[in-house]
A and B are shown apart, each in its own frame.
Chain A
Amino acid sequence: MIKRLTNLPIRQKFAVIIIPLIVIILAFDYLQVRYHYLDYSDSVRLNKAITVGIEINHVVHEIQKERSISSGFLANEGDNFGIKLNRQRERTDSTLQQYYNELSSGELDELLTFHRTDLDQLNAHFDKIAALRKSIDQHRISSEESIDRFSEVNNIALNTVIKLIDETRDKEVAQQIHAIIYFLKSKEYASIERAIGTQAFSHNHIGFDLYNRFTTLVSSQNSYLDAFTIIANEESIDYYNQIVQGDEVEEVNRMREVVFANDTLSENPDDWYEASTTKINLLKRVEDYMSDNIQTKTQVIAKRSVQNFWTFLILDITIGIIAFWLMTTLVTNLLKNVKILEAYTRRISAGDMSKKVVIPTKDELGQYANTFNKMVFEIKKSHFELRKQRDKAKFLYKNIYGVSLVVFENIEQGIFLLDKEFKISKFHSKAMKEIFNNDRIAGENFSNFMRPLILPRELEALEMFMRHLFNEDMDEEVVNQLNPIDQVKIHTENNGIVATKYIRVDFTRIFRKDKIQNIMVTVSDETESILLQQHLSEAEKKKQQETERVLSILKIDPSILRGFLHNSRKMLKSISEKYEKNDKDEYSELLSFTFDIIHNLKGNAVVIGMELMANKFHEIEDGITELQSKDVRGKDFLAILYEVDEADRMIAEIAEMLYKIINIYKKFPAEGDSVSNIMVIDSLERGAELIAREVGKTVNVTFDNIENVILPEAYINPFKDMMIQLIRNSIVHGIEAPSVRMNDKKVIMGEILIELSKSDEEMFIRYKDDGRGLDMDRIKHMAVEHGIVTETQLKKMEVSQVIDLIFHEGFSTSDKSDEHAGRGQGMHLVKSIIDEYKGAYEITSTPGKSFEMTIKLPIINTKKVEE
């Protein structure tokens, strides 16, 4: 109940307080109004009642007189009182008429309604007076009986008066009314006394009963007068004392004493009557005085009541209006302010803080409004701060996180974080997918992720490496030196196509609060740059090959070269012809046929110094040897045919080059042999430089006296062939690596000296390098290895004989063959040329210092005839 009350809206709370208050006030007002009204109506009614009462008292007064006269008339047998009686009857009737007139005046409706029964009863008794008079006239009743009959009427009349007036709420009025009542009763008894006295004096005698009655009347009279004097106000008593006195009053008292003495009543009854009547009239005067008084008083009261009523009403309404106005003003104002606050708080809760709340009053609500405004200001301030922070955060998000994402989308490197379980972070750069051709990256364990891509040993190292990376005791730089996949070759598969990639993976520790939180991993695809590098070195190699081709052409006698080229093409063609004719799938036979041809061609190439082609044929040979060891199929042979075709193409290119060179020769015919010399020197120099670069050494070739010795044309090519072989051998075997030369306190650049001289019949070629000389032990070892000599033979050999082993066909000191040295054809070629021209040679080798060879050739003039 209390809770329901406290939960009510303020307006209803006010109602709960104010409505009972208003009801109480209205009830109080009603009571007040009613009280005043009752006072008023009481007074008005009393006033009217008194008016009626006075009329009745007039009638009673006349009846009292008639009663006495009638009593006297009956007692005197109608002699003395006959005339008086008639006059009195007229007076009685006149007052009666006046009474009836008053009743029908129309102003007594309320009174008549209220006292209908009493008045009807009274009127019925008044009506009986006529019958009573008749009985008196005919002397049908006794004097006593008439007194009783009249007294009965008067009794009723007095009672009626008492009933009429005995209803007032004013204490003082009520008291005075009672005083009047007592007075009236006393007067009635005085009147009866007069009647009995009149009768007694008329008979000159009083009977026992009558005597008793007379004395009782006097004592009753006195009792009522006593009561009157007790309750009547001083004014009335003074008036009574002032009026009821004099001779007549004394006379009444004297005649009373006569009756009390109960002697012969000789007094004149008229005297008694007159005296009594005078006294009674005096009493009547007092009665009228009092009646008038009370009537005036009731009128005053009625007037005062009306006055009070209106005064109260006006005051009440005025105060009521003022109170109601004050109340409504205050409550309305209060409610209005509460409403403003409510609306304001609603607006704030809806987020609108643009306006201030305005409450003009200075009461608590006004203070609340101020507090509210301050609060809202503070809220707005912190709101603004918050918004600033939020904007800042947004900005940061957009500009850092957003940029990071953009970077992650666009960067060509794979970037991600590893956690301590080696798990790949949720976010990684988009490039990861492209590099690894894999969609399942986020959340994967990095070593599982790499497992199919790298070698098991690399994987083992990677796991150990990552563990060390997360170990804070380990220096990051130290660990990073051991990154096993800083450059690694991976094979990725995409739709069945396997791609080889070279990737670089870098690891960086990410710290948070001095603890290693993650490892940032960056992956770069370096395939392109590595392939480019390979491509570049291939291109370089190709360029060298081309130079080599030109060189090899230059050092070979054009006629021999042309013969070689012609022969080679014919033989290579025979391979493809044989292949085309091969319908029995006899590949092993085809293979052996091919091998023989290629081997033969390689021999030719080697013999004429066509290293490039020799090398090519060597490669084909290797391919065939590999195939021979397994079951040969058609498609395997295709690879060989492809190689053969390429060799054919190379030969065609060389032929074309040769054709061009021959054209040049034809356009610019040689003016002398010195030109040939220069060309030879030039080609040898370039050849030496080429070979030296190939093996990472530096060498300087010096020609001595060559300007003085013009090579006979026939010797140009043999000379060139021999020199190129010697130069190659020197650079590959003789001249040491720069580091070795430095250690041995030699000039880093190797020195080769070629000196020409001639006599009339002979020509001398001196060739010398400053290399390590011939390694005799190795020569011996390799000669045995190649099966050129046996150990036993070797032991019997002289030094010069051992040296000669290097000219043996197939001798090589290299473990593996390459195009520069190794198949052991070089020195053999030199010796075969010397032998061909019936020359001689001599070799001097100083270990660690030099190698020297002197070649002696007879001068010949015979020109070789071109083919």
Chain B
Amino acid sequence: MKKRLLIVDDSSVMRRTIEKNLANYDMEIIGQAANGVEAVQMVMDKKPDVVTLDITMPEMDGIACLEEIMKINPETKVMIITALADKLTGLIALDRGARGFMYKPVNADDLSRAFDKLLKRDGE
């Protein structure tokens, strides 16, 4: 079964970039969210397997959003994709349950490699 992906980023350009770069990757994009609140709502409604999550976002930042997602479904694989250079925040994200981490900008190769790693964790 195809993994179902939710893309969360406040920049539409970034969301489109991720979407485009994953066009050839074996994954179904089930939605996009522009902020944390929207993202949490969509996680609740659509139960994605995988979420890409930006950290700096209006309304609810990535870390808070991550905590909510983990509360809803701890099995969700969350990949942080951020431009934020601060490593402490990235480490906190790993602490809160994120299992993938990437810096922006992203390209197709890096993305598919990162997703391979993220999903292979369960031996699927």
Could you say which of B88, B99, B103 contacts A457, with CB atoms under 8 Å apart? B88
Residues of B within 8 A of A474 (CB): 94, 99
A464 lies within 8 A of B91 (CB) = yes
Could you say which of A461, A475, A481, A483 contacts B99, with CB atoms under 8 Å apart? A475
Give A474 to B117 CA distance when docked, in angstroms: 10
Give A474 to B114 CA distance when docked, in angstroms: 13
B91 lies within 8 A of A484 (CB) = yes
Give A762 to B87 CA distance when docked, in angstroms: 65
Which residues of A, 665-720, contact B by the 8 Å Cβ criterion? none
Q: How many residues of B contact A (CB 8 A)?
A: 16
Residues of B within 8 A of A460 (CB): 88
Give A553 to B103 CA distance when docked, in angstroms: 48
Tell me, yes or no, whether B48 is within 8 Å of chain A by CB: no
Q: Which chain A residue has the least Cβ–Cβ distance from B98?
A: A478
Give A460 to B88 CA distance when docked, in angstroms: 8
Secondary structure call for the A interface: helix
Give A482 to B103 CA distance when docked, in angstroms: 10
Secondary structure call for the B interface: helix
Q: Which chain B residue has the least Cβ–Cβ distance from A483?
A: B87
Per-residue contact bits, chain B 61-104, to A (CB 8 Å; 1 contact, 0 not): 00000000000000000000000000110111011000111110
B121 lies within 8 A of A478 (CB) = no
A481 lies within 8 A of B103 (CB) = yes
Which residues of A, 403-461, contact B by the 8 Å Cβ criterion? 457-458, 460-461
Residues of B within 8 A of A464 (CB): 88, 91-92, 94-95
Give A475 to B77 CA distance when docked, in angstroms: 13
Per-residue contact bits, chain A 727-745, to B (CB 8 Å; 1 contact, 0 not): 0000000000000000000
Tell me, yes or no, whether A658 is within 8 Å of chain B by CB: no
Could you say which of A461, A468, A473, A481 contacts B88, with CB atoms under 8 Å apart? A461
A461 lies within 8 A of B121 (CB) = no
Give A458 to B121 CA distance when docked, in angstroms: 29
Which residues of B, 23-58, contact A by the 8 Å Cβ criterion? none
Per-residue contact bits, chain A 475-495, to B (CB 8 Å; 1 contact, 0 not): 101110111100000000000
A482 lies within 8 A of B117 (CB) = no
Which residues of B, 96-124, contact A by the 8 Å Cβ criterion? 99-103, 114, 117-118, 121
Q: Which chain B residue has the least Cβ–Cβ distance from A464?
A: B91
A478 lies within 8 A of B117 (CB) = yes
B99 lies within 8 A of A484 (CB) = no
Give A475 to B91 CA distance when docked, in angstroms: 13
With contact pairs A482-B91, A482-B94 given, residues A475 and B117 touching in the complex (Cβ less than 8 Å): yes
Residues of B within 8 A of A473 (CB): 99, 121
Residues of A within 8 A of B118 (CB): 475
Tell me, yes or no, whether A564 is within 8 Å of chain B by CB: no
Give A478 to B114 CA distance when docked, in angstroms: 8
Given contacts A482-B91, A482-B94, 17 further A-B contacts (CB under 8 A): A460-B88, A461-B87, A461-B91, A464-B95, A468-B95, A473-B99, A473-B121, A475-B99, A475-B100, A475-B117, A478-B100, A478-B114, A479-B94, A481-B102, A482-B87, A482-B101, A483-B87
Closest 7 CB pairs of A and B: A461-B88, A464-B91, A482-B90, A484-B87, A482-B87, A478-B101, A482-B91
Please list 22 pairs of residues, one from A and one from B, whose beta carbons are closer than 8 Å in the complex, sorted by A's number: A461-B87, A464-B91, A464-B92, A464-B94, A465-B87, A468-B95, A473-B121, A474-B94, A474-B99, A475-B99, A475-B100, A475-B117, A478-B101, A478-B117, A479-B94, A481-B90, A481-B102, A481-B103, A482-B87, A482-B91, A482-B94, A482-B101
